A and B are shown apart, each in its own frame.
Chain A
Amino acid sequence: MQGSTIDPSKTVVNYHHAAAATDSHHEEHHDFRILGLIVFLIAEGMIFMGLFIAYLTFRAVTPNWPPEGTPRLELLLPGINTTILIASSFVIHKADAAVKQNNISGLRTWFIATALMGAVFLGGQLYEYWHLEFGLKTNIFASTFYVLTGFHGLHVTFGLLLILAVLWRSLKPNHYNSEKHFGVEAAEIYWHFVDVVWIILFFLLYIL
Chain B
Amino acid sequence: MNIPNTILAMLVGILLTLVSLWYGQNHGLLPVAASDEAAQVDGLFNTMMTVATGLFIIVQGTLVIAAIRFRKRKGDNTDGPPVHGNVPLEILWTALPAVVVAWISIYSFEVYNAMGGFDPMAAGDSHAAHMSASSKMRGAAIAAPLPAADAENPPASAPSPNNLIAVGVGASPANRGQNADVSVNVTGLQYAWIFNYPDSNVSSGELHLPAGKEAQLNISAMDVLHAIWIPELRLKQDAIPGRTVELRFTPRRVGEYPLRCAELCGSYHGSMATKLIVQTPEDYASWLQSQQVASNPSLEKAVAVNPGNLSDSDFLAPYTTEMGMNPETLHQIHHTHH
Which A residues form the contact surface with B (CB < 8 A)?
Answer: 60-63
* Measured CA separation A62–B129 after assembly (Å): 8
Does B83 sit at the interface, judged by CB under 8 A? no
Q: How far is the CB of B196 from chain A (nearest CB, A)?
A: 25
Does B176 sit at the interface, judged by CB under 8 A? no
Inter-subunit contact A60/B131 (CB<8 Å): no
* Measured CA separation A62–B165 after assembly (Å): 11
Query: A60 to chain B: which residues have CB within 8 Å?
Result: 127-128
Inter-subunit contact B131/A63 (CB<8 Å): yes
Query: B127 to chain A: which residues have CB within 8 Å?
Result: 60-61
Query: B165 to chain A: which residues have CB within 8 Å?
Result: 61
Query: B130 to chain A: which residues have CB within 8 Å?
Result: 63
* Measured CA separation A61–B129 after assembly (Å): 7
* Measured CA separation A60–B128 after assembly (Å): 6
Q: Chain B residue with minimal CB distance to A62? A: B131
Q: How far is the CB of B272 from chain A (nearest CB, A)?
A: 27
Which B12-54 residues sit within 8 Å CB-CB of chain A?
A: none
* Measured CA separation A65–B283 after assembly (Å): 49
Q: Chain A residue with minimal CB distance to B166? A: A61
New contact pairs (6) apart from A62-B128, A63-B131, CB-CB < 8 Å: A60-B127, A61-B127, A61-B128, A61-B165, A63-B129, A63-B130
Q: Chain A residue with minimal CB distance to B125? A: A60
* Measured CA separation A63–B128 after assembly (Å): 6
* Measured CA separation A97–B236 after assembly (Å): 62
Q: Chain B's interface: helix, strand, loop or mixed, by majority?
A: loop
* Measured CA separation A62–B242 after assembly (Å): 11
Give 1 or 0 for each of B157-176: 1 = CB within 8 Å of chain A CB: 00000000100000000000
Query: B129 to chain A: which residues have CB within 8 Å?
Result: 63
Q: How far is the CB of B134 from chain A (nearest CB, A)?
A: 15
* Measured CA separation A61–B243 after assembly (Å): 11
Which B228-247 residues sit within 8 Å CB-CB of chain A?
A: none
* Measured CA separation A80–B59 after assembly (Å): 66
Could you give 12 example pairs across A and B, Cβ below 8 Å?
A60-B127, A60-B128, A61-B127, A61-B128, A61-B131, A61-B165, A62-B128, A62-B131, A63-B128, A63-B129, A63-B130, A63-B131
* Measured CA separation A25–B142 after assembly (Å): 75
Q: Chain A residue with minimal CB distance to B82? A: A2
* Measured CA separation A170–B129 after assembly (Å): 58
Q: How far is the CB of B129 from chain A (nearest CB, A)?
A: 7
Query: A62 to chain B: which residues have CB within 8 Å?
Result: 128, 131
Q: Chain B residue with minimal CB distance to A64? A: B130
Query: B128 to chain A: which residues have CB within 8 Å?
Result: 60-63
Q: How far is the CB of B246 from chain A (nearest CB, A)?
A: 17
Query: A61 to chain B: which residues have CB within 8 Å?
Result: 127-128, 131, 165
* Measured CA separation A91–B129 after assembly (Å): 47
* Measured CA separation A163–B188 after assembly (Å): 55
Q: How far is the CB of B118 from chain A (nearest CB, A)?
A: 21
Q: Chain B residue with minimal CB distance to A59? A: B128
Which B62-87 residues sit within 8 Å CB-CB of chain A?
A: none
Nearest first, the 7 closest Cβ-Cβ pairs linking A and B are A63-B130, A60-B128, A61-B128, A61-B127, A63-B128, A63-B129, A63-B131
Q: How far is the CB of B319 from chain A (nearest CB, A)?
A: 34
* Measured CA separation A60–B127 after assembly (Å): 8
* Measured CA separation A43–B130 after assembly (Å): 35
Query: B131 to chain A: which residues have CB within 8 Å?
Result: 61-63
Q: Chain B residue with minimal CB distance to A2? A: B82
* Measured CA separation A62–B127 after assembly (Å): 9
Which B116-133 residues sit within 8 Å CB-CB of chain A?
A: 127-131
* Measured CA separation A193–B214 after assembly (Å): 57
* Measured CA separation A60–B129 after assembly (Å): 10
* Measured CA separation A61–B132 after assembly (Å): 12
Q: Chain A residue with minimal CB distance to B243? A: A61
Q: Chain B residue with minimal CB distance to A60? A: B128
* Measured CA separation A192–B128 after assembly (Å): 36
* Measured CA separation A62–B131 after assembly (Å): 7
Q: How far is the CB of B225 from chain A (nearest CB, A)?
A: 16
* Measured CA separation A60–B165 after assembly (Å): 12
* Measured CA separation A62–B130 after assembly (Å): 7
* Measured CA separation A63–B165 after assembly (Å): 11
Q: Chain B residue with minimal CB distance to A63? A: B130
Q: Chain B residue with minimal CB distance to A67? A: B131
Q: Chain A residue with minimal CB distance to B129? A: A63
* Measured CA separation A156–B326 after assembly (Å): 61
* Measured CA separation A61–B165 after assembly (Å): 9
Query: A63 to chain B: which residues have CB within 8 Å?
Result: 128-131
* Measured CA separation A61–B127 after assembly (Å): 6
Q: How far is the CB of B242 from chain A (nearest CB, A)?
A: 10
Q: How far is the CB of A127 from chain B (nearest CB, A)?
A: 33
Give 1 or 0 for each of B129-157: 1 = CB within 8 Å of chain A CB: 11100000000000000000000000000
Q: How far is the CB of B33 from chain A (nearest CB, A)?
A: 35
